[in-house]
């Protein structure tokens, strides 16, 4: 059962990333049903949906909790399938000369067995001492959607970044528990902040998106709001927050949190954010018109609550290059 949860956690990460990616595409998607994953182990399904967890199975506990979180949030759903109908079943069985392949020469058989064995080791046991790279492997699997959000944060406009930081400051510890686990997994030396090297190592694990060190530095500088060269937890939350999931999972709490974030800008509580209030909150000098125009959909010269929420939902990448050259940090 341990191997099933390792694979479920890895598959769930892919499903969560794909679902979050669909939300980021401007197609006005209101809801996406959970992604079904077929499993031929009734014991695994029972444990995944069971709220009671036995702490004796500590080595897979983080993955078990991660799978439960995905199920609870509607990201994935597990469906039972008979082993005879499961196309992936051969990957869970010992390799023999008779099953499930036609006769092979000794050389072909040994080569195939070697490749299959190593494939199973790397896919099923990523934390095993044989395959981890230096030091202790983290029990918490890195969420690729978190890595994706960090890469995306640098592309957001200045106003979008400020809005996300305001929203992040309204969340409580329970809501931040999953992101705390991800932060701790990246913070290898456990000093409470993520260095450039730690961020480089984390982003390198998202294999399809390997990037140059200069790009990693650019990402860190965008997230590092206090410019101390490190990313603390509050800065990390602002960059990795799943806005669409927050809205989808609890609409009422989303209304409260987004309104509280709005009021951090709306100093006079008149229900609108003006250019003067933008200047006060951001600490930027120069004209605020371009920042305001990005969110001011009805062109009335101020940002309403609904416009602010729309800003939080959208990628808002278009005005970043313009605004960054027009306003400076105070």
Q: What is the mean pLDDT of the chain?
A: 76
What angle do helix axes 61-72 and 2-24 make, rounded to 10 degrees?
A: 40
Contact indicator for 316, 162 with CB cutoff of 8 Å: no
Position of tokens 């960054």? 324
**Highest mean pLDDT out of 146-155, 203-212, 237-246, 264-273:** 264-273
The whole-angstrom separation of Cα 285 and Cα 193 is 29
- Runs of H (alpha helix) within 93-142: 106-124
Classified as helix, coil or strand, 79 is strand
Contact indicator for 155, 317 with CB cutoff of 8 Å: yes
* pLDDT at position 148: 83
Share of the chain above pLDDT 70, in %: 70
* pLDDT at position 28: 58
* pLDDT at position 60: 47
What angle (nearest 5°) sits at the alpha carbon of residue 184, between those of residues 180 and 190? Answer: 135
- 304 closest CA partner among 252, 265, 248: 265
Give, in order, the Cα–Cα distances in Å from 167 to each of 56, 82, 199, 246: 38, 45, 23, 11
Contact indicator for 141, 178 with CB cutoff of 8 Å: no
Task: Sketch the domain layout of the chain as residue ranges.
Answer: 2-88, 144-329
The whole-angstrom separation of Cα 256 and Cα 141 is 31
pLDDT (tens digit, 9 = 90+) per residue, 7-54?
Answer: 888 888 888 877 777 766 655 555 667 788 888 778 887 877 776 555
Half-sphere exposure of 21 (CA within 13 A, CB side): 11
Size (the chain), residues: 330
Give, in order, the Cα–Cα distances in Å from 87 to each of 52, 175, 235: 31, 38, 43
The whole-angstrom separation of Cα 168 and Cα 260 is 10
Sign of the torsion formed by the C-alpha atoms of 2, 202, 223 and 159: negative
Query: 144-329 belongs to which homologous superfamily?
Result: EF-hand (1.10.238.10)
> Of 105 and 68, which is predicted with more confidence?
68
The whole-angstrom separation of Cα 179 and Cα 69 is 12
The rounded Cα 88 to chain-centroid distance in angstroms is 27
Give, in order, the Cα–Cα distances in Å from 182 to each of 54, 135, 198, 206, 226: 23, 18, 12, 14, 21
The whole-angstrom separation of Cα 141 and Cα 16 is 13
pTM, rounded to two decimals: 0.57
pLDDT (tens digit, 9 = 90+) per residue, 126-147?
Answer: 444 444 445 444 556 777 778 8
At 312, list the tokens. 């939080």
What angle do helix axes 233-240 and 213-223 make, rounded to 10 degrees?
A: 100
């Amino acid at each position: 059962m341990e191997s099933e949860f390792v694979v479920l956690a890895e598959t769930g990460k892919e499903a969560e990333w794909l679902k979050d990616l669909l939300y980021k595409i401007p197609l006005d998607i209101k809801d996406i049903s959970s992604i079904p994953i077929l499993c031929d182990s009734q014991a695994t399904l029972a444990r995944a949906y069971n709220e009671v967890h036995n702490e004796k199975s500590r080595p897979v506990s983080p993955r078990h909790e991660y799978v439960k979180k995905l199920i609870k949030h509607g990201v994935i759903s597990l469906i039972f399938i008979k082993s005879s109908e499961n196309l992936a079943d051969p990957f869970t069985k010992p390799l023999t000369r008779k099953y499930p392949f036609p006769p092979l020469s000794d050389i072909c058989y040994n080569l195939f067995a070697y490749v299959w064995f190593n494939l199973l080791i790397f896919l099923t046991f990523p934390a095993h001492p044989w395959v981890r790279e230096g030091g202790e492997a983290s029990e918490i699997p890195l969420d690729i959607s978190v890595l994706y959000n960090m890469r995306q944060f640098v592309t957001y406009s200045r106003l979008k970044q400020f809005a996300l930081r305001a929203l992040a400051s309204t969340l409580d510890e329970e809501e931040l528990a999953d992101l705390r686990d991800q932060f701790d997994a990246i913070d290898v030396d456990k000093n409470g902040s993520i260095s450039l090297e730690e961020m480089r190592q984390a982003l390198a694990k998202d294999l399809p998106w390997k990037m140059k060190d200069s790009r990693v530095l650019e990402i860190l500088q965008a997230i590092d709001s206090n410019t101390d060269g490190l990313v603390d937890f509050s800065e990390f939350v602002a960059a990795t927050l799943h806005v669409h999931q927050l809205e989808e999972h609890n609409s009422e709490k989303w209304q409260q949190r987004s309104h509280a974030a709005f009021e951090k800008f709306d100093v006079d509580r008149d229900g609108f954010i003006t250019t003067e209030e933008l200047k006060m909150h951001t600490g930027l000098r120069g004209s605020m018109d371009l920042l305001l125009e990005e969110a001011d959909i009805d062109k009335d010269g101020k940002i309403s609550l609904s416009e602010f929420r729309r800003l939080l939902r959208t990628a808002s990448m278009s005005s970043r290059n313009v605004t960054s050259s027009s306003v400076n940090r105070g």
